[in-house]
Amino acid sequence: MTTNILFCGYSFHTNGYHSQHKSGYPSYLFRLQTEGHCEVVVKGRKVNLEKGDLLLIKPGDHYELLVKPGQISGDFHLVCEGTWVDDWWSRSTKPDIARIDLDEKLLSLWRHIMIEKRRPLSIENEEITDYLLRALCLTLERTVKEAVTTVNHPYAVTRMMRYIEEHATSALKVEDVALYAGLSVSRSVHLFKSSVGKTMMEYALEIRLSAAIERMKYSSMTLEQIAEECGFGAYSYFHRVFKKKYGVAPGVYRRTE
């Protein structure tokens, strides 16, 4: 299955701007508002976009964009097509507009695509941009789902999850997670459990076990080294939680995989 990026860039408007596709946008359009605000019309519905609003347009959708004179509006945008994108779009319902966290990893993906598109055309570049576009689509999809899951607290829970994912294999403290989310410890603990369905430490443990399995499969590290590197500390603790989760000891699991 193929992908094709027709355009990828960043726009910053200060003197007004207007574009319209009343007869239907010709391709897929992803547009993420990062600064200021603007007005769009999607499928006949007028909406004011603010920082963090993600716009997802499919071929044929009525679309208009208006930045009024004197307004400031900055956005990342990408126009694409291809059979892989068709399949990705059709496998789940995509909202026209979603409020998401402006995660630096997501923005970095967008910037990486922009840089690759500026390079002289080559087969290698096409392959790289193909994988980067797929990564961006999947990341946007996950980010939107997380935003919907935490609709009453659109940023705090997502920020806590990202922090735990990045620090699970180190000495993770609930206090640090709460500080990163800008919440009290008690509030962050309650909010995380009610939204995710598990405690922060349970979530961190799942990530540690996943990291351990990856190293067991693809490295020659000893089980003791894996236990330490993945944040379990003592091997005895790693052995206990691994067996409880998977029903076999780490050594048995490694030999049978």
Report the range of poorest mean pLDDT among 12-16, 19-23, 163-167, 240-244: 19-23
- On whether both 159 and 105 belong to a single domain, the answer is no
- On whether both 103 and 229 belong to a single domain, the answer is no
Residues 111, 118 contacting (CB under 8 angstroms): no
Supply the DSSP symbol for 120.
P
- On whether both 155 and 144 belong to a single domain, the answer is no
Residues 181, 188 contacting (CB under 8 angstroms): yes
Could you give the number of structural domains in the chain? 2
Indicate whether 154 pLDDT > 60.
no
Residues 38, 86 contacting (CB under 8 angstroms): no
Q: Please provide the average confidence, as pLDDT, over all residues in the chain.
A: 89
| C-alpha span between 179 and 241 (Å, rounded) | 28
Spatial neighbors of 231 by CB under 8 A, at least 6 apart, are 168, 169, 170, 171, 172, 204, 208, 211
pLDDT tier at 39, thresholds 50, 70, 90 = very high
**Listed residue (19, 39, 29) closest to 76, CA to CA:** 29
- On whether both 198 and 86 belong to a single domain, the answer is no
In this predicted structure, what is the pLDDT of residue 122?
65
